Chain A
Amino acid sequence: MTTAVPSRSGDGSAWSPASGDGSAWSSTRAFGASISAEWLKVTTVRSSYITLVVSLAAMVGVSAIVCASNVSSFDKLGLLERTVFKLTFDPAFSGVSGVFLAQLGVGVLGVLTMTSEYSSGMIRTSLAAVPRRLHLLMAKAIVYLVIALVVGLVGSFCSFLVGQSILSGAGLSTSLSAPGVPRVVIGGGLYLAVLGLLGVGLGAMIRRTAGAVAALFGLLLVLPAIAAALPSPWGPDVSRYLPNEAGSALLHLTDRTDVLAPWSGFAVFAAYAVVAMVLGSTLLLRRDA
Chain B
Amino acid sequence: MIEVRGLTKRYGRVTAIDGLSFDVLPGRVTGFLGPNGSGKSTTMRLVVGLDIPTSGSVAVAGRPYRELARPLTEVGALLDAGALHPGRRARDHLRWLAVTNGISRRRADEVLALVGLESAARRRASTLSLGMRQRLGIAVALLGNPGVLLFDEPINGLDPEGIVWVRRLMRSLAAEGRTVFVSSHLMSEMALTADHLVVVGRGKLVADAALTDFVEQASLRASRVVTPEPERLASALDGAGATVSAGPDGLLEVTGLTTARIGELALAASVVLHELTPVRASLEEAYMELTADSVEYRVADPAAGARS
- Could you tell me which A residues sit within 8 Å of B by CB distance? 1-18, 22-23, 25, 29-30, 33-34, 36-38, 40-41, 44-47, 116-117, 120-125, 127-132, 286, 288-289
Contact = CB atoms under 8 A, between A and B. Distances in A.
A36 B99 contact: yes
Interface residues of B, number: 66
Interface string B217-259: 0000000000000000000000000000000000000000000
A25 B85 contact: no
B101 A44 contact: no
B196 A6 contact: yes
B102 A288 contact: no
B177 A45 contact: no
A15 B179 contact: yes
Given A4-B307, A14-B177, A129-B101, 7 more contacts: A15-B148, A18-B145, A38-B96, A44-B95, A117-B85, A124-B80, A131-B66
Contacts of A40: 92, 95-96, 99
B308 A1 contact: yes
Nearest to A285: B52
Nearest to B196: A9
Contact of A25 (B69, B87, B96): B69
A129 B72 contact: yes
Given A18-B145, A40-B95, A44-B92, A13 B177 contact: yes
B213 A14 contact: no
B45 A289 contact: yes
A110 B214 CA distance: 52
Contact of B306 (A4, A29, A289): A4
B213 A120 contact: no
Interface string B132-151: 00000000100001111000
Contacts of B86: 120
B71 A129 contact: yes
Nearest to B179: A15
A30 B101 CA distance: 7
Contacts of A3: 306-307
Contacts of B49: 127-128, 131
B28 A11 contact: yes
Contact of A45 (B85, B175, B195): B85
A122 B177 contact: no
Interface of B: 1, 3, 11, 23, 25-28, 45, 48-52, 65-66, 68-74, 77, 79-80, 82-89, 92, 95-97, 99-102, 140, 145-148, 174-179, 195-196, 209-213, 302-303, 305-308
Given A17-B147, A124-B50, A128-B77, A10 B100 contact: no
B232 to A, nearest CB: 44
A34 B174 CA distance: 31
B210 A6 contact: yes
13 contacts: A2-B3, A6-B213, A7-B213, A9-B25, A17-B74, A30-B70, A40-B92, A44-B92, A128-B50, A129-B100, A131-B48, A286-B52, A288-B52
A32 to B, nearest CB: 10
Contacts of B11: 288
Nearest to A10: B27
A41 B308 CA distance: 46
Contacts of A34: 100
Contact of A10 (B25, B69, B92): B25
Nearest to B140: A125
Contact of B28 (A2, A12, A121, A128): A12
B83 A125 contact: yes
A37 B177 contact: no
Given A9-B27, A17-B74, A25-B69, A120 B99 contact: no
A14 B213 CA distance: 23
Given A10-B25, A14-B177, A124-B50, A25 B71 contact: no
Given A4-B307, A12-B177, A131-B68, A122 B26 contact: no
Contact of A44 (B77, B96, B209): B96
